[in-house]
Amino acid sequence: MKQYGLIGYPLTHSFSKNYFSAKFEKEGIKDCQYDLFEIESVEALPALLATTPGLCGLNVTIPHKQAVLPLLNDLDDASARRIGAVNTIKVYPDGSTKGFNTDYYGFMESLAEWLDHRAETDPDLRALVLGNGGAARAVMTALEDLRIPFTLVSRQATEGALSYEELTDDVMIANRLIINTTPLGMYPKTEVAPPIPYALLTRHHLLYDLVYNPLETLFLKKGAERGAANHSGLKMLHLQAEKAWEIWNSEDDL
């Protein structure tokens, strides 16, 4: 039996087990199992690896995407090492591990498809990235590769980031694409949203939420009320999951 799973804490929000279980059934994939491993501390990972026979791969979610790096034997140069965060771990037959970042792939592909579908060819398109965790790192790297300038937004202003209080009229007008990489609005705390000035949103704004549970977060709902277009994280989830499956089952690292 080949074993796969997800590590994080808590895991009440995750669709990963349902996604992979449905994939196994639909595609007739035998002798594979996907489980949730809720670990509060990432330091529990070595014990999990040692006590889970047949473990071939793991997904990584909040809050372990950055903390897990020093516990791995190797990092993929093109994604995890460059981004500084891991959401996919490949476990080799000898027990060694290598970290990858498929969030990067899933976000970049889904955003490029959405913008193309909307015929968004504005060379002056700029983005605000809400949050500064592991998912934000993947998003910022993807935006760099798509050549979309961005500004990081966090609870406190730093040398490289604005605070939410600094989102003035001019800032909101200049940045039409707003990407939420925080867990704000995720089930079960669906009544909260990033504290941006929603009254300054217009029909020209594009809101992308990495949260996929629920599909319409309060962030997206409040944007839609102002006429803004919106995009949930579901397509990104599917793309990153399929990329992880490809990595786990490839003879060579992708």
Catalytic machinery residues: 65
Instruction: For residue 148, give Cα distances in angstroms to 2, 64, 235.
Output: 40, 27, 20
Rounded Cα gap, residues 20 and 219, in angstroms: 28
Over its C-alpha atoms, the chain yields an Rg (Å, rounded) of 18
- Tokens describing residue 90: 């490949």
DSSP 239: H
170 Cβ partners below 8 Å, 6+ apart? none
List the Cα angle 203/208/212 in 5-degree steps. 130
The residues with which 99 forms a beta bridge, in sequence order, are 75, 89
DSSP 7: E
Written as one letter, the residue type at 250 is S
- Helix 234-248 to helix 102-117 angle (10° resolution) is 140
Rounded Cα gap, residues 233 and 210, in angstroms: 4
